[in-house]
């Protein structure tokens, strides 16, 4: 039975896999279909449905993503593959960079084609430079697959990983502090789209050295969740009463504190789930979550408006149900797509999933 796991290392591996599942499912909320443009969304600011959307985005999306970066740093700190820099970079190019480029190309082909032929309200190629940036994420996040900035920055962190894992703790601490300062002050692009990814990646290396993950699992689950809930409440209050455009440095500092609390809460939650009856189901989903991360926005661009006709956009009575179910709906399509690819085109499945299928 799940609750009788005695191998600490096995449970930790399960927890890492489960953390990926809950984090990447949460990312879907950040990009959930609303049926409204930015101006219309601002007009609904402070309403019950918009507050629900904001809460789901922050709670399960933006607050969960830092754990993915930290886990990547934790894993690379224990990998012998970093001893060979060229081999390490080739592997990460194959498992991170290549899927990013391929999925960006698929996004342009499908979403922009739908915009040109079917009237879908979506970005279309404007210049050759736009196309290059959209594919390779050189100086900005893509307009279509906006989440790919994470893979781009993660790959750059992986390129630097063989150097980072050899640095003393004090040097890593300085890098983490500089990355945190860049996040707070809005610096980073075009070198890093999000400096916070380097911050959490570096913390992951330090966490491995200090066995922080073992300390966190000794925390009572309620305490870990309570700290996160308290900081989230402060952030929600600021978002409603003050607004994102006021006291930007304060807002970004609070944002970083919320993300740190989220790392603790989500890791503690993943550890609890790794010892629960839900473990088997979550582990069956895990091989598909990288595909989910890469493909979910394409599916939302193309499928969101059609399903949205049944519920209406944000503000309609049935929309909250659609909003809450979107990650599961997208996951169902991705699992079906992954299974079809494995049977019909196994090489394509391997390339598009970075070898994870």
User: Which backbone phi and psi does 191 adopt, to 5 degrees?
Assistant: -70, -55
- Report the C-alpha gap between 345 and 353 in whole angstroms: 12
Quick check: is 71 in a domain? yes
- Residues 6 or more apart whose Cβ sits within 8 Å of residue 195: 179, 180, 182, 183, 187, 188
User: What is the predicted pLDDT for the residue at 2?
Assistant: 47
- Report the C-alpha gap between 283 and 324 in whole angstroms: 22
Place of tokens 């480029």: 101
Q: Are 293 and 22 in contact (CB under 8 A)?
A: no
Q: Can you give the residue range of the structural domain that contains 165?
A: 2-352
What's the pLDDT band for 205 if we cut at 50, 70, 90? Answer: very high
Q: What is the DSSP string of 283-330?
A: HHHGGGHHHHHHHHHHHHHHHHHHHHHHH-STTSTTHHHHHHHHHHHH
Q: Each residue of 1-11: pLDDT tens digit?
A: 444 555 788 99
- Residues 6 or more apart whose Cβ sits within 8 Å of residue 234: 254
- pLDDT (mean) for 225-236: 89
Least confidently predicted of 132-141, 155-164, 233-242 = 233-242
215 is written with which tokens?
A: 């300390």
Residues in the chain: 357
Assign 245 to helix, strand or coil. Answer: coil
Q: Are 144 and 108 in contact (CB under 8 A)?
A: yes
Distance from chain centroid for Cα 190: 19
Quick check: is 235 in a domain? yes
User: What is the predicted pLDDT for the residue at 327?
Assistant: 95
- pLDDT (mean) for 281-286: 96
Place of tokens 């308290």: 230
Quick check: is 95 in a domain? yes
User: What is the predicted pLDDT for the residue at 246?
Assistant: 63
Which residue, 315, 262, 349, is CA-closest to 52?
315
User: What is the predicted pLDDT for the residue at 51?
Assistant: 86
Quick check: is 357 in a domain? no
Which residue, 211, 219, 230, 226, is CA-closest to 268?
219
Cα-based distances in Å from 318 to 29, 35, 88, 321: 17, 13, 48, 6
Q: Are 23 and 265 in contact (CB under 8 A)?
A: no
Q: Each residue of 81-140: pLDDT tens digit?
A: 888 999 999 999 999 999 999 999 999 999 999 999 998 999 999 899 999 999 999 999
User: What is the predicted pLDDT for the residue at 9?
Assistant: 85
Is the entire prediction scored with pTM above 0.85? yes
Average pLDDT, the chain: 91
Which sign, positive or negative, has the C-alpha torsion 66, 68, 71, 77? negative
Domain total in the chain: 1
User: What is the predicted pLDDT for the residue at 1?
Assistant: 42
Out of 43-52, 245-254, 319-328, give the one with best mean pLDDT: 319-328
User: What is the predicted pLDDT for the residue at 244?
Assistant: 61
Count the neighbouring beta carbons within 10 Å of the beta carbon of residue 327: 22
Assign 192 to helix, strand or coil. Answer: coil
Quick check: is 18 in a domain? yes
């Amino acid at each position: 039975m799940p609750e009788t796991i005695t191998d600490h290392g096995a449970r930790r591996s399960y927890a890492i896999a489960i953390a990926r599942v809950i984090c990447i499912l949460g990312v879907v909320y950040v990009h959930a279909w609303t049926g409204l443009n930015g101006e219309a969304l601002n007009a609904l600011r402070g309403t019950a449905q918009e507050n629900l959307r904001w809460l789901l985005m922050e709670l399960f999306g933006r607050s969960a993503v830092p754990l993915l970066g930290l886990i990547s740093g934790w894993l690379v700190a224990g990998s012998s593959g970093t001893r060979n820099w060229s081999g390490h970079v080739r592997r990460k190019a194959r498992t991170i960079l290549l899927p990013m480029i391929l999925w960006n190309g698929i996004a342009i082909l499908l979403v922009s084609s739908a915009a040109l032929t079917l009237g879908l309200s979506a970005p279309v190629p404007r210049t050759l430079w736009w196309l290059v940036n959209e594919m390779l994420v050189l100086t900005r996040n893509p307009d279509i697959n906006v989440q790919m900035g994470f893979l781009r920055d993660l790959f750059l962190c992986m390129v630097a990983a063989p150097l980072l894992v050899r640095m003393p703790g004090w040097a890593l601490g300085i890098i983490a502090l500089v990355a945190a300062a860049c996040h707070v002050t809005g610096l980073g692009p075009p070198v890093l789209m999000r400096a916070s990814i380097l911050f959490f990646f570096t913390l992951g290396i330090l966490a491995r050295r200090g066995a922080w993950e073992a300390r966190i699992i000794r925390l009572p689950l309620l305490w870990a969740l309570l700290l996160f809930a308290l900081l989230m409440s402060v952030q929600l209050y600021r978002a409603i009463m003050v607004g994102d455009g006021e006291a930007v440095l304060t807002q970004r500092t609070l944002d970083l504190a919320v993300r740190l609390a989220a790392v603790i809460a989500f890791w503690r939650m993943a550890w609890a789930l790794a010892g629960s009856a839900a473990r088997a189901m979550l582990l069956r989903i895990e091989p598909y979550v990288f595909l989910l991360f890469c493909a979910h926005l394409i599916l939302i661009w193309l499928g969101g408006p059609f399903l949205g006709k049944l519920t209406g956009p944000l503000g309609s009575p049935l929309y909250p149900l659609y909003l809450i179910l979107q990650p599961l709906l997208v996951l169902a399509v991705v699992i079906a797509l992954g299974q079809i690819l494995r049977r019909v085109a196994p090489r394509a499945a391997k390339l598009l999933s970075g070898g994870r299928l």
